[in-house]
Structure 1
Amino acid sequence: MTYTKQPQTDAYSLILEAIDVGIYKPGDRLVESDLAERFGVSRTPIREALQRLETQSLLERDGRSLIVASLTHNQMSELYVVRRELEGLAARLAAQHATEEEIAVLRAMVSADDALINDPAALARANRRFHKQIHLASHNRYLVQQLDLVHRTMALMATTSLAAQGRGEIAQGEHDGIVSAIEARDEGRAEAALKEHISVAFMTRLKQDADARERAE
């Protein structure tokens, strides 16, 4: 992936996106000079961005170096517990407050994303866009802020659960059910559908991790 020269204030977003799309994976070392060259910005905003990412626990110290943080099993479990509750609340509020236009956008996203079922990386990007749209449709700025933090931390997972065999098609069906509940203004069903969606994603990821450990033995 190549980058054109960006405003220096974008350094944080550029590094975060690079982690999110897997250019930098957990354990990778981030070097100021390399990042400045890659993104076409000076080292000062890069340094400030790295400090911010470290404060948010997305980077951690390895001696004098900063590396992309890794999530332990317990940290991942804790993250999914919080994500499940917050996402469920977002769906409930979206069923209350989403405009007809916002619901139409969600429906269009589900239809368009069906074409990405066999492309896990593209579907993962579309999945993040879909969930963000639900967050915004909640019309609750504080909830959106908390979910942004959760999803930033999700970037520390080196793989996507959507890469599991058959998961993309199942997830799309779950998305369809979530939007149907929001369309019907059924707050309880929307919340339950989204919470179940996150639970299934978590179970899928746990199985992926178990399979990876088995292969490594």
Structure 2
Amino acid sequence: MNNDFVQTLITTGKLAFWTTLILFILGLPIAYFLAYSRFRLKSVVEALISMPMVLPPTVLGFYILVAYSPQNWFGQMMEQWFDVRLAFSFSGVLIASIICSLPFMVQPLQNGLAALPSSLKEASYTMGKSSLTTFFRVLLPNIRGSVIIAVAMTSAHCVGEFGIVLMVGGNMPGATRVASIALYDEVQALNYKAANQYALVLFLVSFVVLTIIYSINKKTV
């Protein structure tokens, strides 16, 4: 294994790790809100969250890249306040990855919470437990399968992402070059041995994730 191959896998793993961790923290309250709240525009909010699942990644990546531009308020604010340029940087790719992978975290958690009987919450409240305690001590342990599926799907999607990373981060070795982009580069260069290495890693990740998901579904049936 050469240094470029190892560095690319490290960048890919780092992006998947931070994306999954941040989305797990953000996804729990969002999923709870969507599972138990009833309001007129709920369908609109759910549609917006789910958009990355149906929208071409290049379209989403384009609008994110435009938002990162110093000519727009977000990019201008980041540059003036924090001296940070998000375009073609790991931080910029991370934010884009979080946006793109949001539904893969939120939807399994939301479905898991919505499927729980209301008697669980009611019994906890009757015993004097707070909403926070009820969530972490009663509801969350009962959706372990959904949590594992959400984490696995988010990680796998992030590892295999191509369009968003290429649009927002480009192809900078050691910074924004991930396995999916490296695979494309090696095929273009007719370096099939290196391409096979990247393809094998992506294949194994996908296989492991699907095995985990099907194993959990089998246990819950």
Task: Give the TM-score taking structure 2 as reference length.
Answer: 0.28
Q: Which structure shows the higher strand fraction?
A: 1
Q: Which has the higher contact order (CA 8 A, sep 6+)?
A: 2
- Over alpha carbons, which structure has the higher Rg? 2
Task: Give the TM-score taking structure 1 as reference length.
Answer: 0.29
Q: Which structure shows the higher helix fraction?
A: 2
